Amino acid sequence: MKRINNQTELDNYMGKYNIESFFGINMKKYMELHLFEKGSHIVKTDEPINYFYFFVEGKVKVYTILKNGKSLLFRLYKPLNIIGDVEFIDCDTANSNIEAINDCLCIGISMKNLRKYAINDPIFLKYMCTSLGKKFISSSIVSSINILYPLENRLSSYLLAIAPENSKRSNLDGGIITDKFTEMADLLGTSYRHLIRTINKLCQENIIRKEKNSIIILNKNALEKLAGDLYE
């Protein structure tokens, strides 16, 4: 994590998402702009969570590590989302892993200051209840997705989410993805063999191309039709 000492940029994001309206008191002086580089973790399971975050720029994946050591994908987040609402009341450690898919920006307030000044703020507490309610509904939806949707659809949604937004290769629709296939299989709750079969099927349909440990998106529109908005 890197602190960005740019008040103008912080003010721009606060205005863009109207963040001051989430509080009934002035919390602006306690806010900081933090940068998380691609591949870094905003929070990690069972590690101290020192900041409450408004996620304002980039894309992240939220996942957990199961007792057997495998990962399972929960959601793929875009702005605006908040990080730390579940832990705010009385939990000092994170309950999931949140990893930056690309460079991400968050507006952070230390948990110490938030608990000190906003614990009795009815406007903020109402906002927190709304956020937690949405996450509860989202959790139920994800459980249904993992059970009911074919891997082809889940894989398509995941590939679109982690693909570079701007590809410099003009012959490509969606850029290059270089996640390890074993890790991808774990996140999508499937076996490595089934993942490779599904990748090969999409390759045969000229939607993607597999090159060693990378995937190249050839037909973004076809991938979007398969993906829907499963993990959004």
Query: What's residue 171's pLDDT?
Result: 43
Query: What's residue 104's pLDDT?
Result: 95
Q: Provide the b/e sequence for 181-217 (b: ≥16 CB within 10 Å).
A: eeebbbbbbbeeeebeebbeebeeeebbeeeeeebbb
Query: What's residue 232's pLDDT?
Result: 57
- Tokens for 219? 């037909």
The tens place of each residue's pLDDT in the chain, 232 residues long, gives: 999 999 999 999 999 999 999 999 999 999 999 999 988 999 998 899 999 999 999 989 888 877 777 777 877 888 999 999 888 877 888 888 999 988 999 999 999 999 999 999 999 999 998 888 877 776 666 666 666 678 998 899 888 888 876 543 434 455 677 778 888 888 888 889 999 999 999 999 999 998 877 898 999 889 888 886 655 5
Residue 138's contacts (CB-CB under 8 Å, 6 or more residues apart) are 75
Check if the beta carbon of residue 59 is closer than 8 Å to that of residue 42. no
Query: What's residue 196's pLDDT?
Result: 93
Query: What's residue 91's pLDDT?
Result: 81
Query: What's residue 168's pLDDT?
Result: 37
| Torsions phi, psi for 134 (to 5 deg) | -65, -40
Q: Which of 57, 42, 52 is nearest to 1 (CA)?
A: 42
Q: Which of 28, 7, 4, 3 is nearest to 18 (CA)?
A: 28
Query: What's residue 64's pLDDT?
Result: 83
Query: What's residue 167's pLDDT?
Result: 44
Q: Where are the beta strands (DSSP E) in 70-205?
A: 71-77, 81-83, 97-100, 104-110, 176-177
**Domains of the chain, each with CATH number or no CATH:** 2-146 (2.60.120.10), 149-227 (1.10.10.10)
H or E element in which residue 80 lies: none
- Output Rg (C-alpha) for the chain, integer angstroms: 19
Q: Which residues pair with 184 in a beta bridge?
A: none
- Could you tell me the pTM of the whole model? 0.79
Q: Which of 175, 153, 174 is nearest to 221 (CA)?
A: 174
- Tokens for 32? 């900081």
Query: What's residue 139's pLDDT?
Result: 67
